Amino acid sequence: MVFHTRVALAEDYDLSHSQIDEYQNNGHILLKNVIPESEIAELRTAVLRAHEALKDQEEDFQKAFRITQNLWEINDVVRAHVLSKRYAGIAAKLLGCRDVRIYHDLTFFKEGLGKGKPTPWHQDGHYWPLNTDGCITLWVPLIDCPVDMGPMSFVSGSHLNKDAEHLPISDESDEYISKLVENENLSVAPAQHMNAGDATFHSCWTYHAAASNTTENTRIAFAIAYYDADATIPLQPPTNERRAANLARWFPGAVPGGPAATHLNPAVLSSRD
Ligand SMILES: O=C(O)CCC(=O)C(=O)O
């Protein structure tokens, strides 16, 4: 079974030049069938199991979603996906770098029946403690995700600024970005239906949000965050408490000015299988 998983996950994803341009211009893209269909059910089971095992570390973000992180450390199936050259190959091509490293993985459960509130507009860059803008997140629903389940919306081109860098995800970030969108007439790419296994990729600087989940089912989504494999740890101390916490958690032992490359951050494309 594990052998079968590795073969499917090693298959290259056929990414066109125009898709790479689209990502680089907009800071986000939706790609179909990123997870091979044959692998979705097994990954979903593994993610649910690993999430349960990490339940005592679950965090609830203002009722918008519940997360657990780094499932790949405790589950072999999740690890095979997180270290898959298929997904990392897409991330590296979109970023235009030779290889990517793992920042961390995470679940994003949004409750159904409207209990899962809207995800506020925010910029992930507030949280990333790295010396590079080459940061990208793959976000994939593990069940079909119609628009009323809360797939993400993005502001196209917003990855070219850091206007909301000072704000963590909150009502304040939502209000701040909503005003920017309105006042500057920014281009919002509305959420689109995603089948299980379709994935969005977004830059850590792209404004993004999601609506409430009004379906009967919990939205089960999984994400893998990658960055340019040659990134370093900034020389200056982290500029906010969340970056400081993430530096300690995801880069244990890394030193200011040194490579962002601890045992938790394998370079996926150059690793041996
Ligand atoms: O799942 C969500 O609603 C939000 C996800 C998100 O903010 C992210 O992947 O960066």
Per-residue pLDDT of the chain (273 residues; tens, 9 = 90+): 445 556 888 889 999 999 999 999 999 999 999 999 999 999 999 999 999 999 999 999 889 999 999 999 999 999 999 999 999 999 999 999 999 999 999 999 999 999 999 999 999 999 999 999 999 999 999 999 999 999 999 999 999 999 999 999 999 999 999 999 999 999 999 999 999 999 999 999 999 999 999 999 999 999 999 999 999 999 999 999 999 999 999 999 999 999 999 999 999 999 776
* Backbone phi and psi for residue 4, each to the nearest 5 degrees, phi listed first: -60, -45
pTM of the model as a whole: 0.97
The pLDDT value recorded for residue 1 is 46
The pLDDT value recorded for residue 4 is 54
Residue 162: both structure tokens together: 């850091």
Residue 208: both structure tokens together: 């993004």
Distance of alpha carbon 273 from alpha carbon 269, whole angstroms: 10
Q: Does the beta carbon of 200 lie inside 6 Å of ligand 1?
A: no
Testing ligand 1's pocket by substitution, the residue of 47, 136, 208 carrying the most ligand atoms inside 8 A of its CB is 208
The pLDDT value recorded for residue 5 is 54
Domains of the chain, with CATH numbers?
2-250 (2.60.120.620)
Residue 64: both structure tokens together: 């918008």
The pLDDT value recorded for residue 210 is 98
Distance of alpha carbon 180 from alpha carbon 193, whole angstroms: 26
Helix, strand, coil tally for the chain in percent (to 5): 35, 25, 45
Q: Which atom of ligand 1 is nearest to the CA of 124?
A: 10
Give all strands (DSSP E) within the chain, no chain letters: 28-31, 59-61, 65-67, 100-110, 119-122, 135-141, 152-156, 187-189, 199-203, 208-210, 219-228
* Backbone phi and psi for residue 70, each to the nearest 5 degrees, phi listed first: 50, 55
Testing ligand 1's pocket by substitution, the residue of 119, 159, 224, 226 carrying the most ligand atoms inside 8 A of its CB is 119
Q: Does the beta carbon of 111 lie inside 6 Å of ligand 1?
A: no
Closest listed residue to residue 201, CA positions, set 31, 21, 9: 31
Tell me the CA–centroid distance for residue 141 and ligand 1, in Å: 11
